[in-house]
Structures are given as C-alpha cells and as structure tokens.
Structure 1
C-alpha cells in the first residue's frame, strides 16, 4: 500500500514574486473546494503522459482527487498599475497531478467558466479552455463567519452547475489517505502551477501565488455538475458523495501572465 508523504506549509509558503507587466491580482470571495475521489482509470484519456495522477489510498483503493472550485472575483485588476476593477463569478474544474518533468505537485485544468466580457482575452487571445456562462451566488454567513447558506448557480452551454452547501461548528475535517490534516490542506490548497490543453490543442500553463489559505470544513446539501456527468467522470448520484468540502470566505491571489505554451 502506498504511503502518502507528509507535506508542511513551511515548505510551500514563500514571499510573493514581484508582479510585472500584465500580472493581475484579485480577492476570491465565497471560495469553495468540493473534492471527489475517483478511480484513476476514469482519467486515462484526459491527463497527458507528461503528468501522473497524485493519488491517495482511500477506502482500500488507490484514488485520484479532483476539485470543483467556485468563487467570485470582487476586485480583479492589474497587480502593477492603477486600473479598472472587475467583479465576476468563476468556476474551475481541476485534477491534482504531478509534473513528471519537474516533480512539482500541480493541477490539470479540465476548464473553467467565467461570467464576464473579459473572457475574450483568456479564451481567444491565449486560447485557454475558459467558457462563457452566468454565475450567481446567494450566500449568508452567521456571526461566527460560517455559511448558513451557500448557493451557487451557473448556466453555460459548456455545462450548467448547481451548488448548495452549509457550515456549522460540528463539521469535521476529512483527510483519509493523508498522514495528517496539514498534508491534506497543503495538497488541496497549494498547487501554484496549472496546466491544460489550449483550445488549439497545445499544452499551456500559468502560475499563481497566494498566502496560506484557511478554508474550513463544510457540508454538501446538493450539487449538480453537468460537465462531470458528460465526461463520464461522476454520475449525478456520485456527485452527492464528495471526498471533502471546504469554504473560505475570501482570500487573495496573484496570477502571473501571459500563460505560456509548452
């Protein structure tokens, strides 16, 4: 049986690289990580040979992890120059992988939906697999900062999505397959490089930076991700049983641009 290594935040946290030129910054509000454990065979035609799935032992099986990540940009803007700020909803679909060229833990993006006219830049100029859609959040936090209500609805021709979550003080951490809670949190929250197939078929990548993220456990009420059903990764029934769910009310990201073609 594989033993997962111990991961520590101190080995992954570092000062923010100085932004330049067209790098951007944003605060990500209502940041959720809805994570699923899947049989690696389900990704056999999705993940390129350069990458290997970053797996854990879960319920007696070797499993790959994939997260759906909805959030709302509240001030997307230049990280360098005074510039207009944009608000927009977004949802990512990402699989946790290891780049076999560098041995870096990173993510493979299945794609994303962005609710903004600014989509024309990543979609058409940089050929990212980002798709248009309408993203709406209905959220209510209590005095402890936990979410009594977390609803996200997204409509898109690429695949609609519904998310309904809630939080309370009794929600427990779930990190089966990891040696400890910190390893689980580092694994899910600190991949800084993302890779994807561009819309023209080439391999693309970009990097981000953020400080330590501190999401807390949450509870899934209901979800529906049409994309995961269409790709035969998770049926609608399977989607109701995630590996774990976490929410962080807000955090800060820097994105280093433009993306690169490999």
Structure 2
C-alpha cells in the first residue's frame, strides 16, 4: 500500500448547501476487525479491491463497526429542524480501481430514528431501524472515556460493545508501514459505496476534519451481523485490529447520494 498523508487535498472542504447535512457526532468509535478476504470479496462490487494488511503472516481485510450519536442532524437549508439519534455503520476499506481512491464499502447502517425511512425508501440506502443505547462517561480533564458502552437491539445487526479508553493517541496500527497511512485509511474515507436496496451501485460523499483519536481496547464486542454473514465464528468475539475513539467531531454529508 502506498504511503498516505493528511494533505491539503484530502482535508479540503466543499461548501455545504441545499439538502446537504451538517451534524455533530459524539461517542464516535471505530472498532476494526480482521476478516478473511475470501469471505468479504463476494460482498463487494467487482470495481473495488479490498485494502489488505498482513498480520501474523496472513493477509486480512479490515471491517469496522462505527457507532456514534448524531447530536443535531440538520439540513443546511432547514437548520432549525434538528434530530438526535444513535447510529452504527458497518464498513469495509477498499480501493476504487477506476480512480485509485481509497474509500469505504458500506454493508449497511443501523439508525435509531423514524427518519430512517426517508433514505431507506427515497434513495434505497441499506439503512435499518434499530434501538441504540449509549452508556458513556467522558472525563473532560483526563480527555478520556471512563465508561463506554453501546447496545443495539431490535435490529438486523444487534450489537453489544464495551470499550476501554487509554486517553492516548495511537502510536502504531498493525499491518501498516506507518501510522499516518493507517489513520488515513481507517479514519478518513471521504467516499462511501454500497449496494442499494434495489441491487444497483450507490455512492455518497462526506467531509470531516482530521480526527484526533485516542487508542482503545475491547472488553466486549458482539456483532450478530458478522456472525450471521459467516464473517466471524458464532459465539466467538472477532479478531480485533484496533479501537479508535473520538469524543466529538463535526461531519458534513453531501446529498443526494448517486
């Protein structure tokens, strides 16, 4: 994998307008699992190659479970209308063979809000209604979570997560030649691709500033979706590559998707 950096082009922000969305995300976590590439390849459109790392002499693909709380989800055109809800994304890291760009392939999203019906039916996004509960405590002085728990129920992808937060930035990411390359791949995919609910290829674009994450550890990680898809062994916690935590960050989502 080529060396990647947080350059000006990567961090450049396209102005938001119209029905683009701006939102403050809290309790943002990136829990990345090591997955056998042969199991993931059939789920990915042929246009994309899996980004792989070598761990213990074996190539592995990277799949992240990304929970967070939308604090004030709002359309730029209607900023007085705001929604608050939990969300969890399931994404795989890929390279677009047409452009050479690194991107995220979305398997799907759980959303704790009735508004999920809008993107689900209007744009055929693979989003699903769920109940998502966060039980978190963030120590502002220590700049770390003293408690981070998240549970998703009544969903296509029930999950239970309990994390420890070191409060310290990551110093390395297994399988990457340098830390910054790993952080660009895992924390900064600006484009997302997915199979729409009608089977067609869909895409949308986001922006956020460079994340200032801390390194975390897993106490509990249960993801029913990964078990049901045969990506991890049932009843066994997945092999964890890394845990990255960010207390809060600003996101822009450019709509409509294409």
TM-score range, shorter chain: over 0.9
In structure 1, which of residues 242, 253, 258 is the aligned counterpart of residue 240 of structure 2? 242
Deviation at residue 159 of structure 1 after TM alignment? 2.3
TM-score, normalised relative to structure 2: 0.95
Deviation at residue 235 of structure 1 after TM alignment? 2.3
Describe the SS at the equivalent of 1:69: strand
1:87 equivalent in alignment to 2:84: yes
TM-score, normalised relative to structure 1: 0.93
In the alignment, the residues of structure 1 paired with residue 223 and residue 9 of structure 2 have an alpha-carbon distance, to the nearest angstrom, of 31
Q: Relative to 1, partners in 2 of residues 1:35 and 1:12: Cα closer, same or farther, differing over 3 Å?
A: farther
Describe the SS at the equivalent of 1:43: helix
User: 1:221 maps to which residue?
Assistant: 219
Q: Relative to 1, partners in 2 of residues 1:169 and 1:28: Cα closer, same or farther, differing over 3 Å?
A: closer
Describe the SS at the equivalent of 1:228: helix
Where does 1:1-262 land on structure 2 (aligned, <5 Å)?
4-10=1-7, 12-142=9-139, 143-169=141-167, 173-236=171-234, 238-260=236-258
Q: How many residues are matched? A: 257
Deviations 1:152-210 (A, max 9, x none): 01113312110100113578644121111111111101110101111111111100011
In the alignment, the residues of structure 2 paired with residue 195 and residue 175 of structure 1 have an alpha-carbon distance, to the nearest angstrom, of 24
In the alignment, the residues of structure 1 paired with residue 234 and residue 23 of structure 2 have an alpha-carbon distance, to the nearest angstrom, of 32
In the alignment, the residues of structure 1 paired with residue 9 and residue 59 of structure 2 have an alpha-carbon distance, to the nearest angstrom, of 25
In the alignment, the residues of structure 1 paired with residue 166 and residue 33 of structure 2 have an alpha-carbon distance, to the nearest angstrom, of 21
Q: Structure 2 regions of 5+ residues with no counterpart?
A: none
Contact 2:108 2:126 in 1 (8 A): yes
Q: Structure 1 regions of 5+ residues with no counterpart?
A: none
TM superposition outliers: structure 1 runs of 4+ over 6 Å:
none
For the aligned residue pairs, the C-alpha RMSD in angstroms reads 1.6
In the alignment, the residues of structure 2 paired with residue 11 and residue 237 of structure 1 have an alpha-carbon distance, to the nearest angstrom, of 44
